[in-house]
Amino acid sequence: MAEVVLFHHVQGLTDGVRAFAEALRAGGHTVHTPDRFDGELPASVDDGIALTQRIGDEVLRERADRAVADLPEDVVYAGFSFGGGTAQRLAQSRPGARGALLYESCFPITGEWAIGPWPDGVPVQIHGMDKDPFFALEGDLDAARELVDTVGSDLAELFVYPGDQHLFTDSSLPSYDAEATELVIRRSQEFLDRLS
């Protein structure tokens, strides 16, 4: 079974993020859910963005690095939105990544905003809604398509769901889409099972 580290979104380690982690654990996988906000649960995406600005990028990066420091190298990095960016950074920069699950987030792998090239042989699965104002309309979907085109469909998968909600997989938020989330979980389980 796979070992996964799942990073929360800007509204913190919500009950919905915990429930998603439990759904992955139900497949027999080990899932770690570090809390980079020390228990704070911002009421909205805007409040969460404000909190990340108060904490600062350097501290948030240190907290993420500390969260994985004692884990084996061959983990799957996963994350929602803001947490997806962290998962992608670690998958691309920490040697030995087993895979990556990026939910509602994807950074370019080429160009000015790129983290860097995608590591050879590391599978990735990306999920997001086709009209999500953050994922679809701010460039993440384009970056995801580029990643799939560059890495190839044998290693990279992109799943796009109809809808305009951000954080649609979080059952504790009004943006939750149960039907789409069921598909995301099933596809994520299949991805993790292939790595086992």
Confidence of residue 31 (pLDDT cuts 50, 70, 90): very high
Whole-angstrom distance, CA of residue 189 vs CA of residue 26: 9
Question: pTM, whole model, 2 decimals?
Answer: 0.97
* Size (the chain), residues: 196
pLDDT digit string (tens) for 87-100?
999 999 999 999 99
Domains of the chain in start order, with CATH, are 3-194 (3.40.50.1820)
Whole-angstrom distance, CA of residue 42 vs CA of residue 49: 9
pLDDT digit string (tens) for 136-150?
999 999 999 999 999
